[in-house]
Amino acid sequence: MSNGLALLSIFVLSIFIGFEVVSKVSTTLHTPLMSGANAIHGVILVGAITVADRATSNLQLALAIVAVVLATINMVGGFVVTDRMLEMFKGKPRVRKEAEGVDAE
């Protein structure tokens, strides 16, 4: 299998995993899902570091360094804000059980 084809296979299989995993996310958590997914695409930082490392001119280096900064903001900020939101989603067992009775109807 050629390298390009291997990458394409990974891409196609990832589509299926993505749909499968995300369709099970509860609607309550759609906002954290969006910001969490947002943080995950911050991994473009890896790409930014790679191109910065291999830059052969000052222009390339400057663009790549800007990309590193932007990608870091995206990634680190995204995970921090998602954590802040999820921290608030704590179940409170102290609250009455009637709510469950309603759900079971």
Partner 1 sequence: MNKNLYDLVGLVVAVCFILALKGLSSPKSARRGNWIGAFGAFAATEVVFYSPGQTGNHKWLIIGAIAFGVIVGVPAARKIQMTQMPQLVALFNGVGGGAAALVAIVEYLKLGADASMADVVASVFTVIVGCVSFSGSVVTFLKLQEIMTTRPVVFPGGRFVIAATLVGVLGSGEWVIHSLGTTPLLVVAGLSLLFGILFVLPVGGADVPIVISLLNAFTGLTVAASGYVLQATVLIVAGTLVGASGTILTRLMAAAMGRSLFGTLFGAFTAKPQAAVEGGEARSVKSGSPDDVAILLNYAQRVVIVPGFGLAVAQAQHTVRELADLLAAKGIDVAYGIHPVAGRMPGHMNVLLAEANVPYEQLVEMEEINPTFPQTDVVLVVGANDVVNPAAKTTPGCPIYGMPILDVSSAGNVIFLKRSMRPGFAGIENELLYEPKTTLLFGDAKESLTKVVSALKAL
In the region spanning residues 37 to 96, those forming contacts with partner 1, defined by CB under 8 A, are 37-57, 59-61, 63-92, 95-96
Q: How far, in Å, CA of 101 to CA of 105, rounded?
A: 7
Please say whether the beta carbons of 49 and 76 come within 8 A: no
Interface with partner 1, residue 102, by CB under 8 A: yes
Closest approach of partner 1 to the CB of residue 97, in Å: 9
Q: Is 21 in the site for partner 1 (CB under 8 A)?
A: yes
For the chain, how many helices (H) and strands (E)? 6, 0
Q: Is residue 24 near partner 1 by the rule CB under 8 A?
A: yes
Q: Determine the straight-line distance between the first and last CA of the chain, rounded to whole angstroms.
A: 55
- As measured in angstroms, the least distance from the Cβ of 70 to partner 1 is 4
Q: How many residues of this chain interact with partner 1, rule: CB under 8 A?
A: 90
Residue 47 near residue 4 (C-beta atoms within 8 A): no
d(CA 105, CA 51): 57
CB 76, min distance to partner 1, A? 5
Under the criterion CB under 8 A, does residue 5 sit at the interface with partner 1?
A: no
